[in-house]
Amino acid sequence: YGHLAGDEVLVKVASLVSEEFSRETDTIVRFGGEEFLVIAPYITAAALAKKLENLRVKIAEMEFVDKDNQQIFRTSSSFGAIIADAEFSEDLLKWVKVADECLYQAKNSGRNKVVITDRISRVAP
């Protein structure tokens, strides 16, 4: 649908992401062409899954208009996420790599999905 339509989609999706992850501790950055990186500390796996599923549904419900031919279109979204404790790694790129692997899993299994991996260490008593 062209660059202008893509820009409109990115702006609206960014707004939805900002609404869903609005705590002072949440950080949102655009990470590549059509990807966003969200760092949401102190969140449970269930809460993260709920937020990402809410986003997925809201994005799927949005309608956009191609300015060139007035055609209405929709888009979908895929999410990859990692929930882990600080012991997982001090290297942010390792966290991003794992989340990216989840994103590719979501895309390769049909798209329009949320895939989260749990890397919380479980220390035996």
**Is residue 19 flagged as an active site residue?**
no
The answer, as to whether pTM is greater than 0.75, is yes
From the candidates 19, 20, 24, 34, give the one annotated as an active-site residue: 34
Q: Per-residue pLDDT for 123 more than 90?
A: no
Q: Residue range 89-96: average pLDDT? A: 89
Backbone phi, psi, residue 115, to 5°: -125, 125
How far is CA 96 from its chain centroid? 12
3.40.50.1100, 1.10.10.60, 3.40.50.10800, 3.30.70.270: CATH of 2-119: 3.30.70.270
Residue 2's pLDDT is what?
60
Q: What is the mean pLDDT of residues 103-115?
A: 95
Residue 93 or 1, more confident: 93
pLDDT tens-digit map of 50-89: 999 999 999 999 998 887 788 899 999 999 999 988 888 8
